Amino acid sequence: MNILGIETSCDETGIAIYDTEKQSIISEQLFSQASKHAEYGGVVPELASREHLIKIIPLIRMALEEAKLEFIDLDGIAYTAGPGLRGPLLIGASMAKSLAYSLKIPSVGIHHMEAHLLINLLEKPAPKFPFLTLLISGGHCLLINTKEIGSYEIIGQTIDDAVGEAFDKVSKLLELGYPGGPLIEKLAKSGDSSAFKFPRPMINKDNLDFSFSGLKTAVFYTLKDITALDNRIKANIAASFQDAVADTLLIKSKKALEKTKQNELVIGGGVASNKYIRNKLIKGLKDSKIYFPPLERCTDNGAMIAFAGSFYLSNNKKNKNDQVRPKWPLSEL
């Protein structure tokens, strides 16, 4: 089966084709709107919808061309049904459903976070069920006891900001730009991570939940007290903030591994592309096997949607929710 994947939940138009016989992604196209939103300091939903609409058909054509396929060679279409921005989701869903209708092939709505999780199964060696999953993106921070495909027990989550959101907000405070994650990571390289002692939120709590808004507030008050902010201080703040996030993720993951008695940890989502965080988790969890997707498949992409779609379409399975659902808890899959 050739499965077309369409991702439009936020500001990336991601298109890919997964070949179930070859068990590989045979073409992949991505257009990031980040620079269009940068001047507003964050994603403008209306602008995002318009950009998806402009790019979606040319990118599908390019993906087909790259795979040396025609429209009629497609056997199924997977699209992101949620969670995400309503307008952008509707663009992807309308495209997928109308294309599937005209080609007389099935379509399936995919949960964006399930796709971030499952993309790890495409790697070799692949993690083996059951395992623990840590999803760290712009909208989520989830610890999931992952028993099998479709069985996701959420054992920890953020009670306020998501991790990527904290990176984006701190980047705004430091006047670095959007998206904040990669900019903070770059600046932190020249900074001293011990220069500022930021809190490691919730680490002494008995549960596995996270909270990142206090960390962002700590950066805010630190900046307020600095009269002459220069690049060296900014780099030190970036490095200290990043270290606090990495420590928090490490401590909570360790606790979750102990609690679930798992020894494999699967990580996904945009923040998983942060090399400092990756290294800290690898070093701190030496007794466990850690899996990350390749860097470019941590942030939003079409490959993860096409691949997740293959599990549904090859088994003729539908999601309970086939409509666009901007707020869609993974536990309701």
Nearer to ligand KG4, 167 or 198 (CB): 167
Window 137-166: contact mask with ligand KG4 (x via CB under 6 A): xxx------------------------xx-
Greatest Cα pair distance in the chain:
64
Name the binder of 185 from ligand KG4, Zn ion, none, CB < 5-8 A by kind.
ligand KG4
Structure tokens at 20: 């179930």
Q: How far apart are CA 51 and CA 194, in angstroms?
A: 41
Considering the rule CB under 6 A, would residue 76 count as an interface residue with ligand KG4? no
Structure tokens at 52: 């998806």
Name the binder of 167 from Zn ion, ligand KG4, none, CB < 5-8 A by kind.
ligand KG4
Nearer to ligand KG4, 264 or 300 (CB): 300
Near Zn ion in 111-150, by CB under 5 A: 137
Nearer to ligand KG4, 137 or 158 (CB): 137
Considering the rule CB under 6 A, would residue 269 count as an interface residue with ligand KG4? yes
Nearer to ligand KG4, 185 or 247 (CB): 185
Name the binder of 164 from Zn ion, ligand KG4, none, CB < 5-8 A by kind.
ligand KG4
Near ligand KG4 in 169-208, by CB under 6 A: 179-182, 185
> Residue 187 half-sphere exposure, CB side, CA atoms within 13 Å?
25
Considering the rule CB under 5 A, would residue 264 count as an interface residue with Zn ion? no
Window 293-322: contact mask with Zn ion (x via CB under 5 A): -------x----------------------
Name the binder of 247 from Zn ion, ligand KG4, none, CB < 5-8 A by kind.
none
DSSP string, 40-94: TTS--HHHHHHHHHHHHHHHHHHHHHHTT--GGG--EEEEEEESS-HHHHHHHHH
DSSP string, 226-253: -SS--HHHHHHHHHHHHHHHHHHHHHHH
Q: How far apart are CA 64 and CA 302, in angstroms?
A: 13
C-beta of residue 121 within 8 angstroms of C-beta of residue 25: no
Three-state SS for 107?
strand
C-beta of residue 75 within 8 angstroms of C-beta of residue 105: yes
State in Å, rounded, how far the first CA of the chain is from the last one.
24
Smallest gap from residue 74 Cβ to ligand KG4 (A): 25
Closest CA to 117 of 102, 106, 127, 103: 127
Tell how strand 24-32 and strand 76-82 pair up.
Answer: unpaired
Count residues binding ligand KG4 (CB under 6 A). Answer: 20
Q: Is the peptide bond before 294 cis (omega within 30 degrees of 0)?
A: no
- Per CB under 6 A, the segment of 25-33, 119-127, 203-211, 266-274 that binds ligand KG4 is 266-274
- Point out which residues pair with 142 in neighbouring strands: 135, 157
Window 272-311: contact mask with ligand KG4 (x via CB under 6 A): -xx------------------------xx-----------
Name the binder of 265 from Zn ion, ligand KG4, none, CB < 5-8 A by kind.
none
Nearer to ligand KG4, 4 or 10 (CB): 10
Binding site for ligand KG4 (CB under 6 A): 10, 137-139, 164-165, 167-168, 179-182, 185, 269-271, 273-274, 299-300
Binding site for Zn ion (CB under 5 A): 137, 300
